[in-house]
Copies of this chain bind each other. A is one copy, B any other.
């Protein structure tokens, strides 16, 4: 594998000159030399060793992104936003999937730190468990102490820059919409209980119930994975435990789509027999039938803003930006059948 020195030897110049040329440094270089060096680079098919460059420069350019799973549309959208901004700034982004496992997430923080990435963006890693949170927190602090930038999407625990979706408000919006449509008791299908995304959204639902003076007991809440399969399973259990249910609030769209599938299997019509509302407004939500009513979160924008925060000028005080949740009523929600 050709090195800088090989190129220098070949072109009959010093390594310093070659380095200056390939990095087109401001230092002027005679045209003749430049051409000779470039020719040598081409002949030897020289590609500079990025590890050596980074070591010598001590600069940090890449940005690490830790998400639960890029193949989940929710994170895919966020990631798209992150990437776009990073690319505009000429930054490489390293994507790491934690698959919702705290240990993997901790390991990735170390790995990104080891690679001296300029920044780390954490999406969706809000854990309820204080031990996990604390460990993560410690690692993040160390990373920051060594000059790394951090932004989190969707959690409060880390006292640093953050983009926080209005999860609680969104949950409130969803439940409120259902109650206003005349549904007196609603079922909730929730994601994993150890994620703050789940607890926050659920808190919103609870608040709405309180406001409408409706009961919301444990029987009406089913937890499962934040995906289609989880949604199907939770819906099945919910239906079994709450006969005659007329409305379901799913804490994300994937689960809502699973709910729709389960309902279809059981021969229940949506929205005539039962209303469903999701959360996130993933792109696919308009293509299911009926099109999913949901709480919209500006997903791609979340990524854009987080990356901008991390690549922009640092702030001495934590910046916490909120991302608005808004109601999008489509085809899966309808007025409750009045007095049967």
In the assembled complex, the Cα of A73 lies from the Cα of B76 at a distance in Å of 9
Q: How far is the CB of A189 from chain B (nearest CB, A)?
A: 16
Query: Which residues of the other chain, B, contact A157 by a CB distance below 8 angstroms?
Result: none
Q: Name the one of B55, B142, B283, B284 contacting A55, with C-beta atoms under 8 angstroms.
A: B55
Residues of chain B contacted by A83 (CB below 8 angstroms): 97
A114 close to B283 (CB less than 8 A): no
Could you tell me if A261 and B286 are in contact, using CB atoms closer than 8 angstroms? yes
Give the size range of A's interface with the partner: 35 or more
Stoichiometry, copies per complex: 2
| Residue of B with least CB distance to A110 | B47
Contacts of A96 in B (CB 8 A): 92
Contact assessment for A92 and B111 in the assembled complex, using a CB-CB cutoff below 8 Å: yes
Q: A24 within 8 Å of B by Cβ?
A: no
Check if A77 sits within 8 Å of B70, measured CB to CB: no
A97 partner residues in chain B, CB cutoff 8 A: 83
Within 8 A of B (CB), among A253-300: 257, 260-261, 283-284, 286-289
Q: Judging by beta carbons under 8 Å apart, are B286 and A287 in contact?
A: no
Specify which of B52, B77, B288 is in contact with A71 (CB 8 Å cutoff).
B77
- Asked if residues A45 and B145 are in contact (CB atoms below 8 Å), the reply is yes
Given contact pairs A51-B116, A70-B80, A92-B96, a sample of 20 additional A-B residue pairs in the complex whose CB atoms are under 8 Å apart: A45-B142, A47-B146, A49-B116, A50-B114, A55-B55, A69-B80, A70-B70, A71-B77, A71-B79, A71-B80, A72-B76, A76-B76, A92-B94, A94-B94, A94-B95, A95-B95, A261-B287, A284-B284, A284-B287, A288-B288
Q: Which of A20-59 contact B (CB under 8 A)?
A: 45, 47-55
Contact partner of A113 among B47, B71, B147, B287, CB < 8 A? B47
The reply to whether B50 and A116 contact each other, CB–CB distance below 8 Å, is yes
- Among B55, B76, B288, point to the contact of A289 (Cβ < 8 A): B288
Residues of A within 8 A of B (CB): 1, 45, 47-55, 69-73, 76-77, 79-80, 83, 92-97, 110-111, 113-116, 142, 145-147, 228, 257, 260-261, 283-284, 286-289
A76 to B, closest residue via Cβ:
B71
Contacts of A284 in B (CB 8 A): 257, 284, 287
Closest to A117 in B: B50
Across the interface, do A147 and B1 meet the contact criterion of CB distance under 8 Å?
A: yes
A252 CB to nearest B CB, Å? 14
Residues of B within 8 A of A110 (CB): 47
**Closest chain B CB from A103 CB (angstroms):** 12
Q: In the assembled complex, which residues on chain B have CB atoms less than 8 Å from the CB atom of A111?
A: 50, 92
Q: Closest CB-CB distance, A127 to chain B, in whole Å?
A: 20
Measured CA separation A113–B287 after assembly (Å): 40
A71 to chain B, nearest CB (A): 4
The reply to whether B73 and A71 form a contact with Cβ atoms under 8 Å apart is yes
Nearest-CB residue, chain B, relative to A96: B92
Expressed in whole angstroms, the Cα–Cα distance for A50 and B52 within the complex equals 11
A114 touches B261 (CB 8 A): no
**Using Cβ atoms and an 8 Å threshold, which residues of chain B touch A142?**
45, 47
Q: Which residues of B contact A69 (CB under 8 A)?
A: 80
Q: Point out the residues of chain B lying under 8 angstroms from A92, CB to CB.
A: 94, 96, 111
Which of A94, A147, A287, A289 gathers the greatest number of chain B CB atoms within 10 Å?
A: A287
A288→B289 CA distance, assembly (Å)? 6
